[in-house]
Amino acid sequence: MEYQSYIYGKNHWHLEPDLKVILEKYWKEFPDHQEDLTEFGSLIGSKAYEVGDLVDRHARPTLIMHDLDGQRIDRARIDPAHRELLKQLATINRPPYEGGSWHHHFTLGYLLADPGLYCTVIVTNQTAYAIHKYAPEHKTWFEALLAGDMWGATWMTETQGGSDLGANTTEAKMESGTWRLYGEEKSFASNAGLADLALVTARPEGAIQGPKGLALFIVPRLSQQGNLNFTVRRFKEKSATRAVPTGEVEMEGSEAYLVGEADQGIYYTLEVLSVARLANAIGAMGLARKAHLESLYRVHERKAFGRALVEHPLVRRDLTDLAVRLAGGLSLVFHAIERFDNAWNDLPPYTSDYHYARFLAHLAKNRTADHAAETTLLAMELFGGLGFLDEVAVARLHREALITPIWEGTSNIQALDMLEAMQKKGAHEPFLDEFIPLLEGVGTPEAHQARQTIERTLGQLATLEAEHVQWYSKDALTRLADAAQVALLYALAEIAGERYAKLAALYALRFLLHEPYPGWAYKDEEIWLPIDIDS
């Protein structure tokens, strides 16, 4: 194929150095799924990698607005290979609802890690999630979503509000016993033209202003009479994530079905958003891993100044940075997934376990997005000028990674939501209860620094006035996530060996103490070369 990649054609499950260790810690059914993970890893390393590139460069979805008779249909035309692959990828959504766990679901998402392809899958999952928990009367739709026979969507963002859901202007009216939605401003509507069902936020007539006045609705593509139920104004041109059509949707009397209770809509919406944030985090780390793997092969193949790149100290330093970020970020996101898996059946007003899971999701979403952007950028640098060519894999990986800090709420939104979880729900208290003991038992200077970082950061936030606490909250979000990653890597060392203790120390030096990596890391191939690329 014309796509230039070192890891195309390889099984991405077999190439993974850290995930298996982490799954052994968190996913008790993991040993029973080796065969299907191997099969899925083969699909991702071959067909999914190839189709993702094909769609990005040559076969973007296009909007077909009318049929031969001039009737509006507003459908996305996609390449047949793209359509076939999406059907295969639908299996990602099944485990949590069929007796499995979220660990399984997000492991598959991590291996895929193509944001455009994964977005189609994850917004379908969010639609299924809302039906499963709060609208079980729509069981037929739910089963079709899991089977890949229907696709879902989540349409909340509006032009005038962006992340400010409380500014939504879409209105819901009860007319002759049927809810109908009116609004022209759903401006970042992923899966537009593909979706058979969409979750849509709207304000019922007479409801209060602000986010608490929003209800959540299911809007099918076709009305009960078989007519087009909403229209797609256009598809947007994007620098990446081109596999998922993103459009502008208008609703003028769209038939809709209320999800749960109208006055609980904002809670359902934020709950669905928490699922999406975990997906964003795991997808970010999957992108980072693909860039890491591409780099490992490159530095062994490329020679400069008379020797392979991997033999140069500065290249080993860069590989160390990649390994540290990958292990740390992956440990944090799976810890957040574990807490979510234990609490996802909670209902509003939720338990402290759910609020803690949400708190961890903010930390994980924000920091993994940073890791993805930085690791893919460094991978491009390791490729040199070749890495900037559009046909080379790492160039697209970096473009794709740049959406991860934006999707599902920017770092500013994550910081504000973290503050809300702390101030109103005390979500930082179980964080202290869990992570301080983890660090106390280690006894290294780096663990001590991580503990101090947590205590000082939370202590500082507690003393500041409202405006000032917002000013510091984004830095606090990063510091707490970094300290948590140090603790989790030390915890992995107890079950997986000294490599993870070394990674924990290196992470603390790099991100808490802002010190250079020590000289011993230069010679420690176990750190920066975690897989045998010749096997």
CA distance 326 to 13: 15
Q: How many Å is the Cα radius of gyration of the chain? A: 23
> Is the CA virtual torsion 239, 245, 250, 255 positive or negative?
negative
Q: What integer pLDDT is reported at residue 307 of this predicted model?
A: 96
pTM: 0.96
Q: Name the residue among 308, 292, 330 with its Cα closest to residue 528.
A: 292
Q: What is the CATH number of the domain that holds 498?
A: 1.20.140.10
Are the C-beta atoms of residues 246 and 123 closer than 8 Å to each other? no
- Is the pLDDT assigned to residue 1 strictly greater than 60? no
Task: Please name the amino acid found at residue 252.
Answer: E
Of residues 86, 192, 218, the one with CA closest to residue 140: 218
Shared-domain flag, residues 141 and 164? no
Interval 424-472: pLDDT, tens: 999 999 999 999 999 998 999 999 999 999 999 999 999 998 889 999 9
Q: Amino acid identity of 303?
A: K
Q: Above 70 in pLDDT, residue 535?
A: no
Tell me the residue type at 223.
S
pLDDT above 90 covers a percentage of the chain that reads 94
209 and 109 both lie in a single domain: no
Residue 444 sits in the same domain as residue 476: yes
The answer to whether residue 488 scores a pLDDT higher than 90 is yes
Q: What Å distances lie between residue 268 and 217, 273, 281, CA to CA?
A: 10, 9, 20
- Work out the pLDDT band at 97, boundaries 50, 70, 90: very high
Range of the domain at 181: 154-263
- Work out how many domains the chain is built from and give that number: 3
Q: Which helix (H) or strand (E) holds 501?
A: helix 498-511
Q: Which residues contact 137 (CB under 8 A, 6 or more apart)?
A: none
The answer as to whether 6 is a domain residue is: no
The rounded mean pLDDT for the chain is: 96
The residue from 125, 147, 169 where one domain ends is 147
Question: Which H helix or E strand runs over 46?
Answer: none
The Cα–Cα gap between 502 and 524 comes to 10
Same domain, 411 and 427: yes
Domain final residue, candidates 119, 147, 175: 147
Length of the chain (residues)? 535
The angle, 0 to 180 degrees and rounded to 10, between the axes of the packed helices 102-112 and 265-301 is 50
What pLDDT does residue 243 have? Answer: 97
Tell me the pLDDT band of 3, cut-offs 50, 70 and 90.
Answer: low
State the average pLDDT over residues 279-305: 97
- The verdict on 407 and 498 lying in the same domain is yes
Give residue for tokens 């400010």: 164
User: pLDDT band for position 158 (50/70/90)?
Assistant: confident
Query: What is the average pLDDT across 294-304?
Result: 96
- The answer as to whether 108 is a domain residue is yes
Take residue 191 and report the two structure tokens written for it: 């899966």
The per-residue pLDDT for 532 is 84
Same domain, 312 and 386: yes
Domain boundary among 147, 168, 193: 147
d(CA 122, CA 482): 27
159 — pLDDT class (breaks 50, 70, 90) = confident
Q: What is the pLDDT of residues 14-53, one digit of tens each?
A: 999 999 999 999 999 999 999 999 999 999 999 999 999 9
Helices 115-134 and 102-112, interaxial angle, to 10°?
A: 160
Q: Are 173 and 179 in contact (CB under 8 A)?
A: yes
| Same domain, yes or no: 209 and 339 | no
pLDDT band at 2 (very low <50, low <70, confident <90, very high): low
Q: At a CB cut-off of 8 Å and minimum separation 6, what does 385 contact?
A: none
Say if residue 123 is in the same domain as residue 206.
no
Two tokens, residue 274: 């928490």
Q: How confident is the model at residue 374 (pLDDT cuts 50, 70, 90)?
A: very high
pLDDT at 297 over 80: yes
Give the residue among 405, 403, 414 at the shortest CA–CA distance from 477.
414
Least confident of 155-164, 180-189, 223-232, 434-443: 155-164
Q: What is the mean pLDDT of residues 203-230?
A: 96
Which neighbouring-strand residues pair with 220?
197
Is beta strand 197-204 parallel, antiparallel or unpaired with respect to 154-155?
A: parallel
Contact 219, 141 (CB under 8 A): no
CA–CA gap between residue 84 and residue 86 (Å, rounded): 6
For residues 175-193, give the mean pLDDT. 93
